[in-house]
C-alpha cells in the first residue's frame, strides 16, 4: 500500500528512521519488497532522475505498482530523489509520487529558497510533500560532482530560516557524509552537533540523511577478490543510524550499498561459472541477497518490526 511520506514520518519521528532505498530495475524492487516484508518494516522507494532515464519512468512506475500487488502487506512511500525543478513538476503531476526532493543545494541560499518555494507551492496543491536540501554533501549525484573541501555542513540557524521561508516538509542536512563508496579518509563520525542544534530550533521537524551507505568492507573485499578494483572505500558507521534517528533523522538514504551487493553477486557468479551466460541465475541470487541486506539495514534503522503498529495507526 502506497502511503504519504508524511504518514511514515509521523510514525517514525524520534523513534526510528525509515530506510529510503533507490531502485532502477525489477530485481532491486523484488529484493527491496521481500527484505521489507521479511523484517516487517515500512520503507521509502526512491527514484532518481538517472533511474527514470535508465529504465524509463513508466516502466519504474509499473514495476512499483506490480511489486505492491505481489507484496500486499507492504507499506511504503514513493519519492523522487535529487530532483531538479522540471523533474519535480513531472512527478507531482504524475499522481504517483508521495513526495519529491528538490535539490537546489548547489545554488546560493536565496536562489535555493526561491526554487524550493515554487516546488512546495505546486506540490502542496496536490497533497505531496517536499524534501529540500541545505548545505552541500561531497561526492557525485546525478551529473554534479562536489570535490572534497567544497562540501559544507548545514548551518542550523540557516536551516531554521530556510524551513520558515520555503515551507518545505523535511530537510536533507549535510552532516559529514557524501554520496558513493569513498566517504571518509580515516575514521570519522557524523556531526551530531548539527542535528542537536537543528532539533533544538525545530523540534518535530523531519530531517534526512543522504550518503548513508556503510560500504561494508567484507563486501568490498569479496568484490576485489573476484576481480574488482575498489580501493580506499569507506562508509557510515551503522551504529550511528539510530542515534541520528533519535535526533530527528527520519529518513536514511541508502543506494551505494545495494550496488555493492549487486557487484559482489555478479562478479563472484561469473568468476565461478565462466561458461554461464544466463543472467537469471545470478539475478535470483541478487534478489535473495538484496532482501537479506535490506532486512539487516531495517534492523539497524529501528524500522524492523514497526509494520503492524504503523498499520494500526493508519486505520485510527
Give catalytic residue positions.
Answer: 81
The one of ligand G3H, Zn ion, ligand 13P, none whose footprint includes residue 190, by CB under 5 to 8 A per kind, is: none
Q: What is the DSSP string of 108-155?
A: -HHHHHHHHHHHHHHHHTTT-EEEEEESB-BEEETTEEE-TTT-BPPP
What are 259's three cell numbers?
550496488
Q: Rule CB under 6 A: is residue 79 a binding residue for ligand G3H?
A: no
Q: Among Zn ion, ligand G3H, ligand 13P, none, what does residue 289 contact (CB within 5–8 Å per kind)?
A: none
**What CA–CA distance (Å, rounded) separates 202 from 230?**
40
Q: Does 51 bind ligand G3H (CB under 6 A)?
A: yes
List of residues contacting Zn ion (CB under 5 A): 210
34 binds ligand G3H (CB under 6 A): no
Residue numbers at the binding site for ligand 13P (CB under 6 A)? 22, 81-82, 179-180, 210-213, 253-257
- Binding of ligand G3H at residue 179 (CB under 6 A)? yes
28 or 48, CB closer to ligand G3H? 48
Rounded Cα–Cα distance for residues 144 and 153 (Å): 17
Size of the site for ligand G3H (CB under 6 A): 10
Point out which span in 47-55, 107-115, 164-172, 225-233 binds ligand G3H (CB under 6 A): 47-55
Please enumerate in sequence order all residues whose Cβ is within 8 A of that of 64, keeping only pairs 6 or more positions apart, or say none: 23, 29, 45, 78, 96
Ranges of H-type helices in 13-80: 26-38, 49-51, 57-70
Q: Which is nearer to ligand G3H, 56 or 196 (CB)?
A: 56
In whole angstroms, what is the distance from residue 80 CA to residue 131 CA? Answer: 9
| 28 neighbors 67 (Cβ within 8 angstroms) | no
**From ligand G3H, ligand 13P, Zn ion, none, interface partner of 84 (C-beta below 5 to 8 A by class):** none
Nearest Cα neighbor of 103 from 118, 116, 122 is 116
State yes or no: residue 141 binds ligand G3H (CB under 6 A): yes
> Is 22 among the residues that bind ligand G3H (CB under 6 A)?
yes
Question: 5 — phi, psi (to 5°)?
Answer: -65, -35
Nearer to ligand G3H by Cβ, of 240 and 255: the residue is 255
- The binding site for ligand G3H (CB under 6 A) comprises 22, 48, 50-51, 81-82, 141-142, 179, 255
Amino acid at each position: 500500500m502506497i502511503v504519504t511520506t508524511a504518514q511514515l514520518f509521523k510514525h517514525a519521528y524520534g523513534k526510528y528512521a525509515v530506510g529510503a532505498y533507490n531502485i532502477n530495475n525489477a530485481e532491486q524492487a523484488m529484493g527491496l519488497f521481500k527484505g521489507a516484508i521479511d523484517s516487517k518494516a515500512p520503507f521509502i522507494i526512491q527514484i532518481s532522475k538517472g533511474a527514470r532515464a535508465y529504465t524509463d519512468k513508466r516502466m519504474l512506475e509499473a514495476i512499483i505498482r506490480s511489486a505492491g500487488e505481489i507484496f500486499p502487506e507492504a507499506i511504503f512511500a514513493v519519492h523522487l530523489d535529487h530532483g531538479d525543478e522540471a523533474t519535480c513538476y513531472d512527478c507531482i503531476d504524475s499522481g504517483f509520487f508521495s513526495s519529491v526532493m528538490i535539490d537546489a543545494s548547489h545554488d546560493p541560499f536565496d536562489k535555493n529558497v526561491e526554487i524550493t518555494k515554487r516546488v512546495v507551492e505546486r506540490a502542496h496543491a496536490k497533497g505531496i510533500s517536499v524534501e529540500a536540501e541545505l548545505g552541500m554533501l561531497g561526492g557525485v549525484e546525478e551529473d554534479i560532482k562536489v570535490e572534497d573541501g567544497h562540501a559544507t555542513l548545514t548551518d542550523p540557524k540557516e536551516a531554521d530560516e530556510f524551513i520558515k521561508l520555503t515551507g518545505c516538509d523535511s530537510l536533507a542536512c549535510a552532516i559529514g557524509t557524501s554520496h558513493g563508496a569513498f566517504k571518509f579518509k580515516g575514521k570519522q563520525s557524523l556531526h551530531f552537533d548539527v542535528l542537536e542544534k537543528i532539533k533544538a530550533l525545530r523540534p518535530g521537524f523531519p530531517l534526512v540523511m543522504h550518503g548513508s551507505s556503510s560500504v561494508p568492507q567484507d563486501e568490498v573485499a569479496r568484490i576485489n577478490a573476484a576481480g574488482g578494483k575498489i580501493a580506499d572505500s569507506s562508509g557510515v558507521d551503522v551504529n550511528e543510524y539510530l542515534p541520528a534517528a533519535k535526533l530527528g533523522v527520519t529518513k536514511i538514504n541508502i543506494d551505494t550499498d545495494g550496488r555493492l551487493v549487486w557487484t559482489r553477486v555478479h562478479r563472484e557468479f561469473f568468476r565461478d561459472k565462466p561458461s554461464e551466460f544466463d543472467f537469471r541465475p545470478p539475478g535470483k541470487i541478487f534478489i535473495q541477497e538484496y532482501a537479506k541486506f535490506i532486512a539487516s539495514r531495517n534492523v539497524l534503522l529501528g524500522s524492523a518490526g514497526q509494520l503492524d503498529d504503523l498499520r494500526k495507526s493508519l486505520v485510527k
